[in-house]
Amino acid sequence: QQPVQSPQAVILREGEDAVINCSSSKALYSVHWYRQKHGEAPVFLMILLKGGEQKGHDKISASFNEKKQQSSLYLTASQLSYSGTYFCGTERGGTSYGKLTFGQGTILTVHP
Amino acid sequence: DAGVIQSPRHEVTEMGQEVTLRCKPISGHNSLFWYRQTMMRGLELLIYFNNNVPIDDSGMPEDRFSAKMPNASFSTLKIQPSEPRDSAVYFCASSPGRGTRWVNSPLHFGNGTRLTVT
């Protein structure tokens, strides 16, 4: 079942912050975050395993609340290079172990 | 590391023709995934393999679609016969695999094949 991302699109000026949310109706084992530039392949950002951990990648960080089956991606002091479509991918574990299902994506546009 | 290699990059074909997409995963990766991306449906998982064995093909839309992984370094996705609604970007991705539950396994995507069926 496809996770739901919100918002669908975000427009920022350089230096502003943004939060992208990802939620699932099913229990999750892990959440992945990827960024895709126009015309290119998705690129891995980070993985969060259940346990409520938070991870960081430069000025991009994420959290995972396994009880709520939700993850959030935090982009602080945005740069022009952050523009792209962000996807969360969820893995449910059990018989779905290894199966990654992506949300519909959030389009992030950063202006000078 | 050459990354995941897909061919062709672009394919234009007529309805009814057979189409074969190819993928070479990163050496040493045990898992391989085929995704389809469209504006309407986003990134859809079609099928994935672990150690060359198909694990879940529930995303394959119809019997017209088939995928094989004859060895650890090669996979194909075939559409026969092709239809205009199959037009999409098809991505292949590989990951190191899941030795234990706690091993991080990011997906490495190829550059995709843009398929246009007229």
| Number of Cβ within a 10 Å radius of residue B61 | 12
Note the pLDDT tens digit of each residue in A95-107: 666 788 999 999 9
Under an 8 A CB cutoff, do A98 and B109 touch? no
Residues of A whose CB is below 8 A from B104: 47, 49
Which pLDDT does position B102 carry in this prediction? 39
Q: Are B7 and B110 in contact (CB under 8 A)?
A: no
What is residue A93's DSSP assignment? B
Residues of A whose CB is below 8 A from B96: none
Residues of A whose CB is below 8 A from B111: 40-41
Is residue B110 classed as helix, strand or coil in its secondary structure? Answer: coil
Which pLDDT does position A11 carry in this prediction? 97
Selecting from B43, B45, B104 the residue whose C-beta is nearest the C-beta of A47 gives: B104
Selecting from B35, B42, B106 the residue whose C-beta is nearest the C-beta of A32 gives: B106
Structure tokens at B15: 């309805």
**A58 vs A28: which has the higher pLDDT:** A28
A99: closest chain B residue by CA: B48
A39: closest chain B residue by CA: B111
What is residue B26's DSSP assignment? P
Residues of B whose CB is below 8 A from A99: 45, 48, 55-56
Classify B52 in phi/psi space as left (phi over 0), alpha (psi -120 to 50) or beta. Answer: left
Under an 8 A CB cutoff, do A32 and B56 touch? no
Which pLDDT does position B76 carry in this prediction? 98
Q: What is the DSSP string of A4-71?
A: EEE-SEEEEETT--EEEEEE-SS--SEEEEEEE-TTS--EEEEEEETTT-EEEETTEEEEEETTTTEE
Note the pLDDT tens digit of each residue in B7-24: 999 999 999 999 999 999
Tell me how far apart the alpha carbons of residues B21 and B35 are, in angstroms, rounded to a whole number.
12
Under an 8 A CB cutoff, do A40 and B98 touch? no
A15: distance to nearest CA of chain B, Å?
28
CA dihedral B37, B80, B62, A3 (to 10 degrees): -10
Q: Which of A29, A55, A100 to mutate to test the interface with B (most CBs of B within 10 A)?
A: A100
Note the pLDDT tens digit of each residue in A12-57: 999 999 999 999 998 888 899 999 999 999 999 988 887 656 666 6
Note the pLDDT tens digit of each residue in B53-83: 998 899 998 899 999 999 999 999 999 999 9
Q: Are B64 and B85 in contact (CB under 8 A)?
A: no
Under an 8 A CB cutoff, do B109 and A42 touch? yes
